[in-house]
Structure 1
Amino acid sequence: MDGSYENSLEIEDDTDTDEDYSLTEYDVTTFPSDFNIKTIFDFMESEIFKVPGFQRNYVWDLTRASKLIESIILGIPVPQIFLYEKSKNEFLVVDGQQRLMTIYYFMKMRFPKKEKRYELRRIFDARSRIPDDILHNDDYFRNFKLKLPEKLPDNKNKLNKLNYETLGEYKNTFEMRTIRNIIIKQNYPPDDDSVIYEIFNRLNTGGMNLKPQEIRTSLYHSDFYDMLYRINLDPRWRGLIAIPEPDLHMKDVEILLRGFAMLVGGDNYKPSMVKFLNKFSNDARSFSEQKVNYLENLFDSFLNSCQNLNERAFTGKTNRINISIYEAVFTAVCGASYDEEFLNVPPITKEQLNSLKDDEEVKNATISKTASKTNVETRLRRAREILAV
């Protein structure tokens, strides 16, 4: 994932482990489907094919992009595309983004300028497409004319410098060529998309290993998630975690998510943490505007209750953020207010927080298997007792 921040948030937590992604609990089906180029373009235009936000920026140069178009026209086989079927008529691109975006840009007859690609990625994430006003803005794009060798061994290259509309006799040939698509569908469990973590990391040729929150952000975008992004920028929050800019891999957003997930749905918690957060994120897509606003205001009250705490208040002895401590404190002090839909969060003192960190039961519940139901319940119980809420 390409970003502009160099900051990296260190978290003291053991829930992000391979056991959370065990594939033995899943039933996955794969099947081939050959779509022609025109259909692929139409699917991208209508957002049936979506390039998720965890994918990297478009990185191909004009020469490489032109060679792909030439290969398609000439009937030279191109690598297959892997798609994850998220729901009916909604497919996420797992592997093949560069090829698909090249086809899309060529048929739009516009090629993205290198210096604008990160910005274009953000626009694409926000709107799921490139708006026409941006597409035709010469600050972002230039005309897409094929850049191929002038001469072939025996004759002149007829495709060089052509665009989509000037392909002439080759246009229908190009549109009707097919690319093999491998559709991946998760059959079980039906309400949990977490298998896509392993599917992406095993199949994607971009060489990226993604953190759960990076993928979760794309799968479960909602008004609630937009709220998480807003509060993640609050200077008071940035002070508590002592990192000035948002984390590249969205670890700070995941800390916030865990707090809200435990506050709202903690009574139904069962491991793994990854699956719990996935389900909560999916459920949060149906949160009303009123509920999202209330949770945002509740977090504001929580930050006010932390005003007497130092920076790095939720760090452990390793100087890393102890997400388990934060989760317990946030849930404990906000619980009564949430149950009654009030905003009266009691203040937290340094002495209370230090007592919680030094508590033997809490220490034992944060050393290992932090996501076990017993340890989660122990931390929350002791937080309520020590913080007197």
Structure 2
Amino acid sequence: MIAFELPKDTDKNLKFLIFERLNTGGIVLNDMEIRNCLYRGQLNDLIRELAKSDEFLACVNQKNLDKRMKDRGLVLRYLAFLQMNYRNARKGMKNFLNEFLQAYRNPGADKLNEFRDTFKKSMKAAYTIFGNQAFRLRTERGSWSTQLNASIFQVLSVSFADYDLGALTRASDLIYEEYLDLISTDEKWVDSVKASTGEIQRIDYSFSTWKQRLAEVMKVTDPNDSQRVFSRQLKEEMYRQDPTCKICNQRITVINDAALDHEKHYWRGGKTIPENARLVHRQCNLQREH
């Protein structure tokens, strides 16, 4: 057996690199498993705790996510992007996550409680808005993918930390529709969360674009805002009754391609009541508005 001894003050990123290069026998450890060895402390314990929390498990709804610490990797992404501006990831995701773990290795009780409470709030918000299909893209058939997308997880979950849970709950239908519109109309955003996701340009675009959209939704959200927005339940009921677009008269194949439109626009006095709602293709509705 060959043993290596490093000085105590050896840079953590250098230790990580050395560990990677020595990690060639047996089962090769992935990045999160290496971090679990190098960055032991209160933060690492919290990450393990949050990965097992009911709020997280209900929201991600992914089997075998705990294998090879993929679940802990998601929690780490959340905490790192929550605490450190996403633009700090210019040196690469590995360094970004390692620097966060080193800086907040033993942060103290107050910070740990802040991380815990904020994480659970974001998970509750995501579940309220998306149910157990959060952080996913749609398949070609229009259904939600069975596989969670880590880049979408970090963007959406961190964005919810900026708002009150009650306000997010009131705006849940609006946020859901805004996300559907984003992934239906912005190919650049979808590409940013699907390929080369560690590139800073893609991270920047995915965060800035969604945060701007969410801010616009939340800007007009208050306890009375529901008077301007049809509920998701009404859309589902109308889709079951007749899935025909009332603009192009073609069948709407999947419900996620549908939107509820004010037959008489609300800014022209049309009320947000079932009698003034009609089911349309999302794209047909966009063309009507523009």
The structural deviation recorded for 1:246 is: 5.3
**How far apart are 1:86 and its partner, in Å?**
6.3
What letter is aligned with 1:313?
A: A
Alignment of 1:218-233 (within 5 A): 218-233=37-52
Task: Select 2:4's aligned residue among 45, 70, 83.
Answer: 83
Query: Please, what TM-score do these two structures have when normalized by structure 1?
Result: 0.47
Q: What is the total number of aligned residue pairs between the two structures?
A: 202
> Is 1:377 paired with 2:209?
no
Aligned counterparts of 1:345 and 1:322: Cα–Cα separation in 2 = 25
* Residue in 2 that maps onto 1:38: none
Larger radius of gyration between Structure 1 and Structure 2: 1
CA distance in 2, matches of 1:259, 1:285: 15
Which whole-Å CA distance do the structure 1 matches of 2:34 and 2:192 have between them? Answer: 28
CA RMSD of aligned residues (A): 2.4
Aligned amino acid, residue 36 of structure 2: T
Check whether the contact 2:92–2:200 (CA below 8 A) recurs between aligned residues: no
Does the residue aligned with 1:354 lie in a helix, a strand or coil? helix
Runs of 4+ in 1 over 6 A off after TM superposition: 342-345
Within a 5 Å distance, the mapping from 1:18-167 to structure 2 comes to 80-83=1-4, 85=6, 87=8
How high is the TM-score relative to the length of structure 2? 0.62
Q: Residues 23-71 of structure 1, C-alpha deviation per residue, up to 9 Å, x if partnerless?
A: xxxxxxxxxxxxxxxxxxxxxxxxxxxxxxxxxxxxxxxxxxxxxxxxx
> What amino acid maps onto 1:218 in structure 2?
C
In the alignment, the residues of structure 1 paired with residue 183 and residue 75 of structure 2 have an alpha-carbon distance, to the nearest angstrom, of: 19
- 66, 71, 76: which one pairs with 1:247? 66
- Contact 2:151–2:197 (CA under 8 A) maintained in structure 1: yes
Give the match for residue 237 of structure 1: 56
2:181 counterpart residue number: 355
- Letter matched to residue 4 of structure 2: L
SS in structure 2 of the partner of residue 250 of structure 1: helix
Q: CA shift at 1:364, angstroms?
A: 2.5
Instruction: Give secondary structure in 1 for the equivalent of 2:101.
Output: helix
Pick the aligned partner of 1:195 from 11, 17, 29.
17
Percent identical among aligned pairs is 21
Change (3 A) 1:83 1:343: farther
- SS of match in other structure, 1:257: helix
**Unpaired segments ≥5 residues, structure 2:** 140-144, 219-290
The residue aligned with 1:314 is 135
Tell me the distance in 2 between the aligned counterparts of 1:84 and 1:237: 39
Mapped partners of 1:378, 1:333: distance in 2: 17
Match 1:216 to one of 20, 23, 35: 35
> 2:20 is matched by which residue type in structure 1?
E
How far did 1:370 drift? 1.1
Rounded to whole Å, the distance in 2 between the matches of 1:244 and 1:379 is: 26
Match of residue 273, structure 1, among 84, 87, 93: 93
Higher relative contact order (CA 8 A, sep 6+): 1
- Mapped pair 1:368 → 2:195: yes
- Report the Cα distance in structure 1 between the residues aligned to 2:100 and 2:47, rounded to whole angstroms: 14
Q: Per-residue displacement from partner, 1:325-355 (whole Å, max 9, x unpaired)? A: 1111122221x36xxxx87773444323323
In structure 2, what is the Cα distance between the partners aligned to 1:240 and 1:343?
A: 15
Post-superposition Cα deviations, 1:161-196, rounded to whole Å, max 9, x if no partner, equal xxxxxxxxxxxxxxxxxxxxxxxxx6xxx3413213
Distance 1:86 1:242, change over 3 A: farther
SS at match of 2:4: strand
CA distance change for structure 1 residues 362 and 371 in 2, over 3 Å: closer, same or farther?
A: same
Query: Tell me, which stretches of 5 or more residues in structure 1 are unaligned?
Result: 1-79, 89-185
- Alignment partners' CA distance in 2, 1:86 and 1:346: 49
Aligned residue number for residue 346 of structure 1: 168
Residue 121 of structure 2 is aligned with which of 292, 297, 301?
Answer: 301
Residue 83 of structure 1 aligns with an amino acid whose one-letter code is F
* Alpha-carbon separation, structure 1, partners of 2:195 and 2:65: 27
Contact 2:51-2:57 within 8 A present in 1 as well: yes
**1:235–1:86 CA distance, 2 compared to 1 (3 A):** farther
The offset of 1:270, in angstroms, is 1.3
Q: 1 CA distance for matches of 2:38 and 2:45? A: 13
Contact 1:241 1:312 in 2 (8 A): yes
1-side partners of 2:176 and 2:192: how far apart? 21
- Structure 1 counterpart of 2:213, one-letter code: I
Name the aligned partner's letter for residue 28 of structure 2. N
> Quick one: distance in 2 between partners of 1:279 and 1:286?
13
C-alpha distance in 1 between matches for 2:80 and 2:118: 14
Task: Mark the CA change 1:314 to 1:343 in structure 2 (over 3 Å): closer, same or farther.
Answer: closer
* Greater helix proportion: 2
Higher strand content, 1 or 2? 1
